């Protein structure tokens, strides 16, 4: 039996290819936790931004605010990605993160102040943001 598998640059149909990884952009009202579950169910994880190269590509693709894979739920101010690795590269918006214990999940926030259209904000994990990005390795 054969399965047809439509790929775009080595990624499943609907996913975008960048630097050895595949990215799926989903726009819907959703909490951070549920966004993570949906990514997991698709064989990926909430997007992890490792460097300015990836950051520039992601922000060039974004159409609205989306969840990032990072959180400081376990230890306030100590941000980790879904695989438990520490967040090293950051692109926080000016004055962010500002939420303390009430805001423990990271997202891309629209930015009207600077040339870059999106950068990072901490938000309550139960906030219904406008979407999420899943990532997985090819």
Instruction: Please report, as ranges, the residues that interact with Ca ion according to CB under 5 A.
Output: 72, 96, 98-99, 103-104, 121-122
Separation CA 41–CA 49 (nearest Å): 20
Least distance between Ca ion and beta carbon 51 (Å):
23
Least distance between Ca ion and beta carbon 79 (Å):
8
- SS3 category, 7: strand
With a CB cutoff of 8 Å and minimum separation 6, the contacts of 10 are 17, 22, 138
Which pair of tokens denotes residue 6?
Answer: 């439509």
Q: Which CB sits closer to Ca ion, 23 or 79?
A: 79
Q: Which CB sits closer to Ca ion, 16 or 109?
A: 109
Least distance between Ca ion and beta carbon 71 (Å):
8
Separation CA 25–CA 73 (nearest Å): 24
Q: Which CB sits closer to Ca ion, 10 or 77?
A: 77
């Amino acid at each position: 039996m054969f399965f047809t598998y439509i790929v775009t640059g080595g990624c499943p149909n609907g996913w975008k290819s960048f630097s050895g990884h595949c990215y799926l952009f989903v726009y819907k009202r959703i909490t951070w936790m549920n966004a993570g579950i949906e990514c997991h169910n698709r064989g990926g994880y909430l997007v992890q931004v490792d460097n300015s190269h990836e950051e520039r590509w992601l922000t060039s693709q974004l159409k609205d605010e989306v969840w990032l894979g990072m959180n400081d739920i376990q230890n306030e101010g100590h941000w980790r990605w879904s695989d438990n690795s520490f967040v090293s590269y950051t692109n926080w918006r000016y004055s962010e993160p500002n939420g303390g214990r009430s805001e423990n999940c990271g997202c891309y926030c629209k930015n009207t102040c600077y040339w870059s259209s999106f950068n990072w904000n901490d938000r309550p994990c139960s906030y219904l943001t406008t979407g999420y990005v899943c990532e997985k390795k090819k």
